[in-house]
């Protein structure tokens, strides 16, 4: 009888592996071990109303989730939650659009320019162009942006796709029309050292990339300004009349367990994630070094206040480059690896974004295929 493990390998050896999306299946094993402690039972009569808390401006936010979010940020020390409105969204994808809408609708003149420093998260382009809003306009790379008038800069830190720590690049400190949305999807200890408690006007977080529960579609925004928060809530009401309560209750439960175990010696999820990511990055760096063909960014070490020691960064995506004049996304495609083209991120053909959050067997196949590419290139075949 063929063992299941072998069958998996056989099928993987032929199939195209998709590392284009950042589907965070890498963490399934951890949650499997946690088992029933995250199980939520929902009866037929539960959670039926549209409303979660009529006294909250964000009336579709489940109080349990709000509590779990505040407690987790306090335990990790990565963001301030005091004196802020929490807006829950169907993923931070919806919240980013809600925030762009809110800031634009409050601006004196429109359309408001929207920019992000390249290489940027390619979904921002679709989010700001798809509905052809007259209120805002995607203006591309923030590095060369010099247009007058109101603008919104999207700052992703650590950055997707290249893992760098980012700050604003347009910088017009005295300009009331300058607005910033900070996307902190990856500002968690398994990806990067926590160096400060972030304290910006609009900060976006996603459940997807903390624990890997992308399918729940839960994100949250921490918003200082009441009018901005109100407009974001309005957007979500028009868009989806709130956010699934089932998802919020499940997210609350998992975030609570995450917080309870985050100082544990044996069950600390962040420690688990950190070790796994470090291991994958070391393997990938080893391969890249040997190849003499590929490149990867280098990240400085920093003192992590969560782990209490100096650590490196192990981003959720590898920003893989090549020293050769080639179209890397197509080269990888020929080797049955799908990745995101650098051009979609405002960069060039010589770079691609590769997800580091796939299942272990897929990651190993990726390394094998990369090794084969290196061989083909160095022998000139």
Residue 278 contacts residue 94 (beta carbons within 8 Å): no
Range in contact with ligand PMP (rule: CB under 6 A) among 62-70, 91-99, 125-133, 270-278: 91-99
| CB nearer ligand PMP, residue 219 or residue 293 | 219
Interaction of residue 158 with ligand PMP, rule CB under 6 A: no
- Name the phi and psi angles at 338, rounded to 5: -90, 135
Range in contact with ligand PMP (rule: CB under 6 A) among 52-60, 86-94, 248-256, 303-311: 86-94
Beta-carbon contacts of 211 under 8 Å, excluding residues fewer than 6 positions away, are: 27, 31, 254, 255, 258, 269
Strand partners, 320: 352
Cα–Cα nearest to 224, from 82, 95, 60: 82
Q: How far is the CB of 207 from ligand PMP (least distance, A)?
A: 7
Is 320 buried (19+), middle (13-18) or exposed (0-12) by CB count in 10 A?
buried
| CB nearer ligand PMP, residue 17 or residue 214 | 214
What is the contact mask toward ligand PMP in residues 110 to 149, using x (rule: CB under 6 A)? -----------x----------------------------
- Name the phi and psi angles at 85, rounded to 5: -95, 135
Q: How far is the CB of 352 from ligand PMP (least distance, A)?
A: 15
Range in contact with ligand PMP (rule: CB under 6 A) among 89-97, 135-143, 258-266, 337-345: 89-97
Sheet holding 202-206, edge to edge: 85-90, 218-223, 202-206, 178-183, 151-156, 112-116, 136-141
Q: Which residue is nearest to ligand PMP (CB)?
A: 91
Range in contact with ligand PMP (rule: CB under 6 A) among 87-95, 97-105, 234-242, 330-338: 87-95
Interaction of residue 192 with ligand PMP, rule CB under 6 A: no
- What's the sign of the alpha-carbon dihedral 334, 338, 344, 346? negative
Range in contact with ligand PMP (rule: CB under 6 A) among 51-59, 90-98, 190-198, 304-312: 90-98
- Distance (Å, whole) CA 283 – CA 148: 46
Interaction of residue 20 with ligand PMP, rule CB under 6 A: no
| CB nearer ligand PMP, residue 22 or residue 321 | 22
Q: How far is the CB of 341 from ligand PMP (least distance, A)?
A: 16
- For every residue of 212-272, DSSP letters joined together read S-GGG-EEEEEES-HHHHHHHHHHHHHHHSS--HHHHHHHHHHHHHHHHHTT-TTT-HHHH
| CB nearer ligand PMP, residue 160 or residue 339 | 160
- Give the CA distances from residue 323 to residues 166, 335, 356, 368, in Å, rounded to whole numbers and listed in that order: 25, 18, 21, 20
Interaction of residue 185 with ligand PMP, rule CB under 6 A: yes
- Give the CA distances from residue 357 to residues 108, 208, 273, in Å, rounded to whole numbers and listed in that order: 42, 11, 10
Interaction of residue 356 with ligand PMP, rule CB under 6 A: no
Strand partners, 294: 322
**Residue 79 in tokens:** 């963001």
Interaction of residue 198 with ligand PMP, rule CB under 6 A: no
Choosing from 183, 221, 331, 332, the residue that interacts with ligand PMP (CB under 6 A) is 183
Choosing from 91, 150, 193, 212, the residue that interacts with ligand PMP (CB under 6 A) is 91
Give the residues lining the site for ligand PMP (CB under 6 A).
Answer: 22, 91-93, 121, 156, 160, 183, 185, 206, 208, 214, 219
């Amino acid at each position: 009888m063929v063992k299941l493990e072998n069958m998996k390998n056989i099928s993987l050896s032929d199939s195209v592996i998709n590392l284009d999306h950042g589907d965070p299946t890498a963490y399934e094993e951890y949650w499997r071990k946690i088992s029933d402690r995250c199980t939520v039972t929902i009866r037929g009569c539960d959670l039926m109303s549209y409303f979660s808390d009529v006294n909250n401006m964000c009336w579709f936010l489940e109080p349990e989730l709000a509590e779990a979010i505040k407690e987790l940020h306090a335990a990790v020390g990565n963001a301030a939650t005091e004196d802020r409105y929490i807006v829950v969204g169907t993923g931070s994808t919806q919240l980013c659009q809600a925030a762009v809408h809110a800031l634009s609708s409050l601006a004196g003149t429109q359309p408001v320019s929207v920019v992000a420093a390249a290489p940027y998260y390619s979904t921002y382009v679709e989010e700001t162009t798809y509905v052809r809003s007259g209120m805002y306009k995607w203006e591309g790379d923030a590095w060369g942006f010099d247009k007058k008038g109101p603008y919104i800069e999207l700052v992703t830190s650590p950055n997707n796709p290249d893992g760098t720590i980012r700050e604003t690049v347009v910088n017009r400190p005295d300009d009331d029309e300058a607005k910033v949305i900070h996307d902190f999807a990856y500002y968690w200890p398994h990806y990067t050292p926590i160096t400060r408690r972030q304290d910006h006007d609009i900060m976006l977080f996603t459940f997807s990339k903390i624990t890997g529960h992308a399918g729940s579609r839960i994100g949250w925004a921490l918003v200082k300004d009441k009018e901005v928060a109100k407009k974001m809530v309005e957007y979500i009401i028009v868009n989806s009349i709130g956010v699934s309560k089932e998802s919020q209750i499940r997210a609350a439960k998992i975030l609570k367990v995450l917080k309870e175990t985050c100082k544990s010696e044996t069950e600390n999820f962040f420690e688990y994630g950190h070790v796994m990511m470090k291991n994958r990055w070391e393997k990938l760096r080893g391969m890249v070094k040997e190849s003499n063909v590929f490149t990867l960014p280098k990240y400085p070490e920093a003192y992590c206040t969560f782990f209490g020691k100096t650590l490196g960064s192990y981003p959720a995506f590898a920003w893989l480059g090549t020293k050769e004049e080639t179209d890397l996304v197509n080269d990888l495609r020929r080797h049955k690896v799908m990745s995101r083209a650098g051009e979609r991120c405002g960069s060039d053909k010589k770079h691609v974004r590769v997800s580091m959050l796939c299942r272990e067997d897929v990651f190993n196949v990726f390394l094998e295929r990369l090794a084969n590419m290196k061989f083909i290139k160095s022998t000139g075949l």
